[in-house]
């Protein structure tokens, strides 16, 4: 089956935003567990590991926030368009 000229396959945004939220939340939880383990002295406490855990936590928070805000914006657009069509 040939695709028309100019055809591009796109992924649904819903899956992408939910994946962002899931990955961001996982990054947050993992970094918090690492920091908690360092505080309880289960693992060594080099300053580099603290900095990496903080960076992963910040990146996870940003990624999850972007995914959540995109999901909210898309839902608002969808519901606004559904109400306009009625």
Averaged pLDDT for residues 64-81: 88
* pLDDT given for residue 7 in this prediction: 62
- Domain count within the chain: 1
CA separation for the pair 44, 52 (Å, rounded): 13
Q: Does residue 7 sit within a domain?
A: no
CA separation for the pair 56, 32 (Å, rounded): 9
Q: Does residue 56 sit within a domain?
A: yes
Residue range(s) defining the domain that contains residue 76: 13-85
**Is residue 13 pLDDT above 90, yes or no?**
no
Residues 6+ apart with CB under 8 A from 71: 14, 17, 18, 21
Residues 6+ apart with CB under 8 A from 14: 71, 74
Taking only the tens place, the pLDDT of each residue in 14-44 is: 678 889 999 999 999 999 999 999 999 999 8
CA separation for the pair 70, 13 (Å, rounded): 9
Q: Does residue 4 sit within a domain?
A: no
């Amino acid at each position: 089956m040939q695709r028309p000229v100019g055809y591009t396959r796109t992924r649904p945004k819903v899956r992408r935003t939910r994946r962002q939220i899931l990955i961001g939340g996982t990054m947050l939880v993992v970094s918090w567990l690492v920091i908690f383990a360092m505080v309880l002295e289960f693992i060594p406490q080099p300053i580099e590991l603290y900095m990496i855990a903080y960076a992963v936590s910040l990146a996870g928070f940003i990624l999850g926030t972007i995914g959540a805000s995109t999901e909210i914006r898309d839902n608002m657009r969808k519901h606004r368009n559904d109400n306009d069509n009625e």
